[in-house]
Structure 1
C-alpha cells in the first residue's frame, strides 16, 4: 500500500471519529442545558403577589417568605429544583408561612426591590405579617440551610 493511500485511510478514520465526537458533545450539551433550566412543579401555595400575601398574612398571622427570582436566574432554578420541590420543605412552607415569588424583572415590583434593597437573585427574605424582615439569605441555598432558616423564622 502506498503512503498516499495510508494517508487517505487515516483521514477517513479520523473524520468518522470527529463526527461522532461532535454528535455526542452536542447531545450531552442539549441535556445539560435542559437540566439547568428544568424546574419540577411543586405544591407550594404561592401567593399571586405581595399585596395578596400581606392580606393572607394579616388574616393568618403567619410570616411571609419572599423569594426574589428571575426567569434567567440559574441559581434560582437550582433552588426551585433542589429545595422548593422537596416534600419536607413544601410541608413546612405551606403550613407555617405565606410564600410569594417576586420577579425582579417585573416593573410592578420596583417598590419591593427598593424597600428590601434587592440587587441580585436569588434572595430569600422571611418577614413578619407586617413586612418587617426577620431573616434573609442572599444567594443560592441548599435544603439543610433553608430548613434552618425556616426554623429560626417560624412563629
Structure 2
C-alpha cells in the first residue's frame, strides 16, 4: 500500500515536471543581458560605443521568430559578435493572453514598431546607431547559418560606415 502511494506521488511529480517544461517552452524568454526597453539599450550602447540591435518578435506565434532566436540569436557565433559590437533589445508582440506584456511595455513596443518596423515584419532585426537612426535591417529567417547571419550584419554596418564590423 505504501509503495503504491509512493509510486503515485513520484508519477505525479514527474508528470508535473513534464507539464511545467512544456508550458515554459511555449513562449521564448528574454535572454540574459538583453534589454526590453529601447532607452536603456540606447544608454548602454552609447556608453560602450556599440550599435543597438532591435529584435522585433512574436514570441508565441511567429515560427520564424522562434527559429531565428533558437538557431541564430542564441548561437555562440552570434553571442560572441553581439557581446563585442551590439546591445540587444527585444521588442516582443505575444498573441496568447497568458503571455501578454504589461501595458507600459506593450505601448513602448508599439511606439518602437512605428519608428523602426513600420512594415510590421516578423521577425525583424534593425540596427540602430547612437543617434537613434536605423542604419539597416534584416527581416525573416532564411535558415542562414550563424556565420552567414553575422556577416550580413557586418555588411550593413560596413555599408553604413558605422561601428559593428
User: Which band: TM-score by shorter chain?
Assistant: 0.5 to 0.7
- Is the CA contact (8 Å cut-off) linking 1:125 and 1:135 kept in structure 2? yes
Query: In the alignment, what sits opposite 1:10?
Result: none
* Deviation of the 1:38 alpha carbon: 7.0
* Deviation of the 1:150 alpha carbon: 2.4
Query: In the alignment, what sits opposite 2:107?
Result: 107
Gapped runs of 5+ residues in structure 2? Answer: 1-21, 95-105, 158-163
Distance in 2 of aligned mates of 1:43 and 1:108: 19
Gapped runs of 5+ residues in structure 1? Answer: 1-33
Distance in 2 of aligned mates of 1:43 and 1:107: 21
TM-score by length of 2: 0.63
TM-score by length of 1: 0.67
Distance in 2 of aligned mates of 1:140 and 1:129: 26
For the pair shown, the structure with the greater C-alpha radius of gyration is: 1
In the alignment, structure 1 residue 63 sits paired with structure 2 residue 66:
no
Distance in 1 of aligned mates of 2:92 and 2:28: 18
* Deviation of the 1:39 alpha carbon: 8.2
Q: Pairwise CA RMSD of aligned residues?
A: 2.5
Superposed, 1:119-134 pairs within 5 Å as: 119-134=120-135
Query: In the alignment, what sits opposite 1:23?
Result: none
3-state SS in 2 of match to 1:79 = helix
